[in-house]
Amino acid sequence: MRTWSTKNGFKVTRILSGRSNVFLVTKDNVNILVDTSSKNYRRVLNKRLKRLGINQLDYLILTHTHIDHASNADQLKKTFGARIIVQREEAGYLASGKNIMIRGTNLFTRSLVNLLKQLNPFITYPPCPYDIVVDTRLDLKMDSINLHLLHTPGHTPGSMSIIVDDEIALVGDAMFGVFKGSIFPPFALDVRQMIQSWGKLLQTNCYLFMPSHGSVNKKELVQKEYKKWSKILK
């Protein structure tokens, strides 16, 4: 588990990596979880939360509703009393446990998606009722917590990012941290919209961009990639 701190005392802990990263954002007595990983990681995720002394979660924020992000939402809501936050475009998917569609951004991932669709056209996970719906922006203000959520669509229509203390952005699958020198994800429904979302994220003062897959991206790399891809897509 790796932890980052901000100047105002927020702690961002990557409590799970592997299939998908799960982040815990804490400040004083407020606990916020971002994403849940997939079913196979449920036990270890619960164990790590308990090990950190977390018995209650104030919020669970879903960056989007793919199975490797939302599969344990219902269980975490029940066990830790988390209020669930999801973007409006994908609230219905979460409530019915439907995996929102994926599309490859290159030849290989496009064929992979077609193959997966043939093998299992109906991918589902336990449905989870939601509590709060985000449109373009939501400011989460409670006790000493002041963070905001931004709609950053492209990977999926309801993808969103969490801006912690205007320093660290948790970006879900809007970016990847797997390929050296690149943040471009292998899957996105709307690439143009996703590049625009990078621009939106660069308007914050964040200098670290933490994706759900792979390691953290620094601002310089995101700027470089944004410049390159916004030119190509003109």
User: 143: which 2 tokens?
Assistant: 């006790």
Q: Are strands 208-211 and 168-172 parallel, antiparallel or unpaired?
A: parallel
CA dist 5 and 165 (Å) reads 10
Establish if 35 lies at the interface with Zn ion (CB under 5 A): no
- By C-alpha distance, which of 223, 234, 185 is closest to 201? 223
CA dist 8 and 58 (Å) reads 19
Smallest distance, Å, CB 64 to Zn ion?
A: 6
Closer residue to Zn ion (CB): 14 or 69: 69
Smallest distance, Å, CB 159 to Zn ion?
A: 8
Sole window of 24-32, 42-50, 114-122, 167-175 interacting with Zn ion (rule: CB under 5 A): 167-175
Smallest distance, Å, CB 161 to Zn ion?
A: 13
Burial class (CB in 10 A: 0-12, 13-18, 19+), 28: exposed
Q: Are strands 217-218 and 208-211 parallel, antiparallel or unpaired?
A: antiparallel
Cβ neighbour number for residue 214 with a 10 Å cutoff: 17
Closer residue to Zn ion (CB): 10 or 187: 187
Closer residue to Zn ion (CB): 66 or 98: 66
Q: What string marks each residue from 173 to 192 as x (binds Zn ion by CB under 5 A) or -?
A: x-------------------
Cβ neighbour number for residue 204 with a 10 Å cutoff: 17
- 3 state DSSP class of 82: coil
Smallest distance, Å, CB 110 to Zn ion?
A: 15
Closer residue to Zn ion (CB): 52 or 104: 104
Sole window of 18-26, 90-98, 171-179, 202-210 interacting with Zn ion (rule: CB under 5 A): 171-179
Closer residue to Zn ion (CB): 57 or 175: 175
Closer residue to Zn ion (CB): 54 or 112: 112
Smallest distance, Å, CB 187 to Zn ion?
A: 6
Q: Within 49-68, which residues bind Zn ion (CB under 5 A)?
A: 66
Q: What's the sign of the alpha-carbon dihedral 102, 16, 56, 144?
A: negative
What residues line the site for Zn ion (CB under 5 A)?
A: 66, 173
